[in-house]
């Protein structure tokens, strides 16, 4: 499979050069593979750090900046960064307010962030961790014990980032992060596989007339495969399990229709229309909407739906200014 790369071995290093060249607001530590904000933060601000395997861009590096993350640890494609990276990010980003690690629930990420946090604690840094596990599709899977962490991560990083920016304490920030994690659910599907540069061929085979419902963001198996139907039916298959998992009645909701990377935006809008119609019919109040490619799986075609049950405070923080390479809106 053709890719716009020089070599599978240099994809991450090359992309990091590109990110640094394109975005003066971030700084890249190339030896540790950590993306930092360029501007130092105020003393005492809680530092937010996330990270994970590459191939999900703009997550996480694209969310480093004013109003979101302070640093992102960059792993190889679909491979967790190492504890040393987490340690380097934590030590550098800490400005005395303590550090929150935002971790998607994959075994490698959880283990390596945990070890990184222990190493940082040994250096006297106060580290908390929130693990996000928003995917309702499956319990346990290829790389995960429990539910996987998927596109809800982007909403969590936005809202918690705004709170940290306001100067809240580590306790408060960690508590808010857990509240967001507790109230967000996602479900995804794929029309095609993706191919890692190293493998050079699709991760799995999906026949031309089939789709996979409940796919993971590395192409891990979902709930089932079936014949391709249409946007309306797919929307139903993504929304129903989410609504069955959490009670969204009588609360405001942030709705994210997220592209997996290879689906044109026009199709995401078709999906958004169907998802919104279902939520309207179910009496779910969509207070904020986001449509686009935020948590991707290389060039996989497909989408996911994320619903966050948001209180007024979360909505206010969601609306706060943000300026990062991958998510930006004004004051």
* 101 given a catalytic annotation: no
The catalytic position among 23, 60, 101, 218 is: 218
Q: Does 222 bind a second copy (CB under 8 A)?
A: no
Q: Does 117 bind a second copy (CB under 8 A)?
A: no
Q: Which of 21, 27, 101 is nearest to 64 (CA)?
A: 27
Burial class (CB in 10 A: 0-12, 13-18, 19+), 43: exposed
Work out how close the CB of 18 gets to a second copy at its nearest, in angstroms, rounded to a whole number.
3
b/e sequence 148-182, b meaning 16+ C-beta within 10 Å: bbbbbbbbbbbbbbbbbbeebebeebbebbbbbbe
Q: Does 114 bind a second copy (CB under 8 A)?
A: no
Nearer to a second copy, 62 or 116 (CB): 62
Burial class (CB in 10 A: 0-12, 13-18, 19+), 224: exposed
CA dihedral (324, 20, 108, 97) positive or negative: negative
The percent of the chain in helix, strand and coil, each rounded to the nearest 5, is: 35, 25, 40
Q: Does 323 bind a second copy (CB under 8 A)?
A: yes
Q: Is the peptide bond before 58 cis (omega within 30 degrees of 0)?
A: yes
Identify whether the C-beta of residue 118 lies closer than 8 Å to the C-beta of residue 67: no
Q: Does 200 bind a second copy (CB under 8 A)?
A: no
Q: How far apart are CA 296 and CA 94, in angstroms?
A: 29
Q: Does 18 bind a second copy (CB under 8 A)?
A: yes
- Considering only residues 285-304, where is the footprint of a second copy by CB under 8 A? 289-291, 293, 296, 298-299, 301-303
Q: Does 315 bind a second copy (CB under 8 A)?
A: no
Q: Which of 145, 198, 244, 265 binds a second copy (CB under 8 A)?
A: 265
Q: Does 192 bind a second copy (CB under 8 A)?
A: yes
Select the span of 85-93, 138-146, 223-231, 306-314 touching a second copy (CB under 8 A).
Answer: 223-231
The residues binding a second copy (CB under 8 A) are: 1-7, 11, 14-19, 21-23, 54-55, 57-58, 62, 77, 191-192, 208-209, 211, 228, 230-232, 234, 257, 261-274, 276, 289-291, 293, 296, 298-299, 301-303, 321, 323, 325-326, 328-331
Q: Show which residues are catalytic.
A: 56, 218
């Amino acid at each position: 499979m053709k890719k716009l790369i020089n070599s599978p071995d240099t994809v991450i290093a090359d992309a990091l050069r590109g990110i640094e060249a394109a975005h003066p607001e971030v700084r890249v530590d190339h030896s540790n593979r950590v993306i930092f904000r360029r501007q130092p933060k105020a003393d005492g601000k809680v530092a937010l750090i996330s990270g994970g395997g590459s191939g999900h861009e703009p997550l996480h590096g694209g969310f480093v900046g004013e109003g979101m993350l302070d640093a992102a640890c960059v792993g190889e494609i679909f491979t967790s960064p190492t504890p040393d990276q987490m340690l380097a990010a934590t030590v550098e980003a800490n400005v005395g307010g303590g550090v929150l690690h935002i971790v998607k629930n994959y075994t490698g990420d959880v283990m390596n962030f945990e070890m990184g946090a222990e190493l940082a604690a040994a250096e006297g840094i106060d580290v908390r961790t929130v693990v996000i596990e928003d995917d309702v599709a499956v319990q346990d899977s290829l790389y995960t014990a429990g539910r996987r962490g998927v596109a809800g991560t982007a909403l969590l990083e936005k809202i918690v980032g705004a709170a940290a920016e306001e100067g809240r304490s580590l306790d408060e920030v960690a508590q808010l992060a857990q509240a967001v994690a507790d109230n967000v659910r996602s479900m995804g599907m794929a029309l095609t596989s993706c191919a890692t540069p190293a493998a050079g061929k699709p991760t799995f085979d999906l026949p031309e007339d089939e789709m996979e419902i409940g796919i993971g963001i590395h192409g891990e198996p979902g709930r089932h495969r079936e014949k391709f139907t249409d946007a309306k039916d797919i929307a139903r298959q993504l929304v129903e399990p989410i609504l069955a998992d959490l009670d969204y009645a009588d609360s405001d909701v942030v709705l994210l229709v997220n592209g997996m990377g290879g689906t044109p935006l026009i199709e995401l809008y078709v999906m958004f229309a169907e998802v919104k119609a279902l939520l309207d019919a179910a009496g779910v109040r969509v207070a904020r909407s986001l449509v686009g490619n935020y948590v991707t799986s290389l060039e996989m075609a497909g989408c996911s739906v994320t619903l966050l049950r948001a209180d007024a405070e979360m909505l206010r923080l969601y609306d706060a200014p943000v300026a990062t390479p991958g998510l930006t809106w004004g004051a």
